Chains A and B, each alone.
Chain A
């Protein structure tokens, strides 16, 4: 008996705006993603990559179709339930890092743990452990402004991983980094995820990264035009 996929998307569409100005960012997407799978999404700007990632990460709802996650349709969940789902099952890494400038590296990691309502000691311990796993054990008290771009993205990865999410979603995590640092960050991200059998969904323009990914989706005009497996 086949294991049901972690994600099952059917006829998913997302339209922004109304009337003549409406933009169909996703247009009839069918997609299955298995638990533990590492998936790279590529495509030109405006092809719908980020919209697809946002729907997969429960940040947005489709205007048409169904999105089943772990067997439940998340398209029909309330805003509060979507928030809970993000807190419990998803970890995000953004292109702009999106760290809180007034909090230290450990504070930023703790901000991702805050919705889980852990005890202070456990929260700090998890934050420290996550920072050590990304090689920033000695930079925990530094503010984002005191860290390099690569270090900031490592903090963002630590923030996402500390929550022990089922799914790690990263939207062009290397977009703001030089190629060497970008490669290091990507290796870190995929290496940690692979070791922990985590599902990773990654958007990138980097053909080299895509070439080494186990599964690559290529998008164009809101549709999946290619789904390649290594």
Chain B
């Protein structure tokens, strides 16, 4: 086919013009590839930070937090301040927290040492475990698991002398007395739903997850912070009220996640804390990411007083250079890539049109020789497409090199979550607190074949567009006008 040999000769022998046009397109393509890789790297980095707490982006946490009518005054407003609760719920709350009030006369004779564990419901009201089944039955819910998160007060000291006889003491009265309150948080988890618990096997950094059999009921997983604070390690025994649990795993709670100090079997915690068949949290997994908002709304409709925290809510709490870079990528870099691509298109178009203009007499001669308009358009467009392919391939190579360089630079980004303790309870210590702090994550720039193909496709499309416009302009000229042209 003569068309191809002519095309090859044009591209080869007008090398300067071909290289210039291809380079213009290549720069645009390279920017698109590099920025897309960087953007993907930022997405991956964000996912790496958030994934442990967001699962696959389909998880939700349901709780029924207590809301005081006088939040700023905390516990001072008293249980009566929780006006949205029914009388039964207020009574239940009083019962569950009654144990926090210690009668010294029950601890032993004055002067004797004592130690006692007390479970306290703080800000999350418990509810029947049957609600888990109700949530499970909602449309769009894949699975649901109940959890029970409580404050565990380890009270130690010496039974006070007569001054305290007949009185009651609590954490607020401990100062100056010989009684110490050591608070921690404990969560009971459904061992049959390991991936949906408040701590998951993926978060265990040392040791193992719970045994799924009966042995698991006597095992505990503790967080890294708690293990360091208490000198606890794998194999250590933790006494919790009347039970003893063997530490089988050390977990690192994710940034922004909800963490307790100690995790044990849900049934055992319900039993020890006298809350059989009660839970105060439900972990829910939606069937798809698209279903999350619908499921969240349905739960809040069906379950009075419930609040649903989604992965998106948690992601909103993340800040730091990771987020700044992500915003930069979202706003500036993609705009830059788009501008570069448009500029590359325009440059390619301009160079092609200039080239065609210089060849007016040549193309007019072809028309005089009997070349059809379609043949002339095809010829010019073919040359431009070939230039586009070269530009696309060179651009993809340059973009891949840039992405490789960014990848090798191993840039560290910081993701931070503020110290806001949304669930701090009226007793002054947290329960299932949001884990605050910073986390560093490496910024990569992964290349996907799709992006490279799209970028090359764009370059070819740019060449084709430039060629079609240039070719059509040339083909429209009457041969007598084209032959008169001084090029």
Give the B-binding residues of A (Cβ under 8 A). Answer: 54, 57, 59-60, 79-80, 83-84, 86-88, 90, 92, 94, 96, 98, 100-103, 107, 110-116, 120, 123, 143, 159
Contacts and interface: CB of A to CB of B under 8 A. Distances in A.
Main SS class of interface, B: helix
B366 A83 contact: no
A114 B376 CA distance: 11
Q: Which of A60, A107, A111 has the most CB of B within 10 A?
A: A111
A112 B371 CA distance: 8
B368 interface: yes
A159 B9 CA distance: 18
A115 B369 CA distance: 8
Contacts of A87: 369-371
Contacts of B6: 100, 102-103, 107, 111, 114
B9 A107 contact: yes
B9 A114 contact: no
B371 A107 contact: no
A86 B372 contact: no
Contacts of A114: 2-3, 6, 369, 371, 375
Given A59-B478, A100-B365, 15 more contacts: A59-B368, A59-B479, A86-B368, A98-B483, A100-B362, A102-B9, A102-B13, A102-B14, A107-B6, A110-B5, A113-B2, A114-B3, A114-B375, A115-B369, A116-B370
Contact of B370 (A54, A83, A110): A83
B352 to A, nearest CB: 16
B130 interface: no
A90 B2 CA distance: 20
Given A59-B479, A60-B480, A83 B365 contact: no
Nearest to B476: A79
Contact of B372 (A83, A101, A103): A83
Interface string B1-41: 11101100110111000000000000000000000000000
Interface in B362-403: 362, 365-373, 375
A86 B372 CA distance: 10
B361 interface: yes
A54 B306 CA distance: 89
B129 to A, nearest CB: 83
B372 A115 contact: yes
Interface in B457-484: 478-480, 483
Contacts of B362: 98, 100-101
Q: Which of A96, A98, A107 has the most CB of B within 10 A?
A: A98
> Chain B CB within 10 Å — which of A57, A100, A107, A143 has the most?
A100
Contacts of B1: 120
Interface of B: 1-3, 5-6, 9-10, 12-14, 361-362, 365-373, 375, 478-480, 483
A164 to B, nearest CB: 13
Nearest to B362: A100
A98 B365 contact: yes
Nearest to B486: A96
Nearest to A80: B372
Contacts of B479: 59-60
B483 A112 contact: no
A88 B372 CA distance: 12
B375 to A, nearest CB: 7
A155 to B, nearest CB: 12
Contacts of A94: 365, 483
Contacts of A102: 6, 9-10, 12-14
Contacts of B365: 94, 98, 100
B9 A110 contact: no
Given A102-B14, A107-B9, A111-B2, A92 B375 contact: no
A100 B14 CA distance: 12
A101 B5 CA distance: 14
A195 to B, nearest CB: 23
A143 B2 CA distance: 16
Contacts of B9: 102-103, 107
A198 to B, nearest CB: 17
A180 B75 CA distance: 117
21 contacts: A59-B479, A59-B480, A60-B479, A83-B367, A83-B372, A86-B369, A87-B370, A90-B370, A94-B483, A98-B361, A98-B362, A98-B483, A100-B6, A101-B13, A102-B12, A102-B14, A107-B5, A110-B5, A120-B1, A120-B2, A159-B369
A83 B374 CA distance: 11
A140 B187 CA distance: 90
A113 B371 CA distance: 10
A62 to B, nearest CB: 12
Contacts of A80: 372-373
A100 B2 CA distance: 13
A101 B13 CA distance: 9
B127 to A, nearest CB: 82
Nearest to B481: A60
Nearest to B484: A50
- B361, B373, B483 interface centre (most CB from chain A within 10 Å): B483
A143 B10 CA distance: 12
B14 A115 contact: no
Given A103-B6, A111-B2, A83 B371 contact: yes
B369 A111 contact: yes
A57 B479 CA distance: 11
A159 B1 CA distance: 18
B4 to A, nearest CB: 10
B370 A86 contact: yes
B480 A88 contact: no
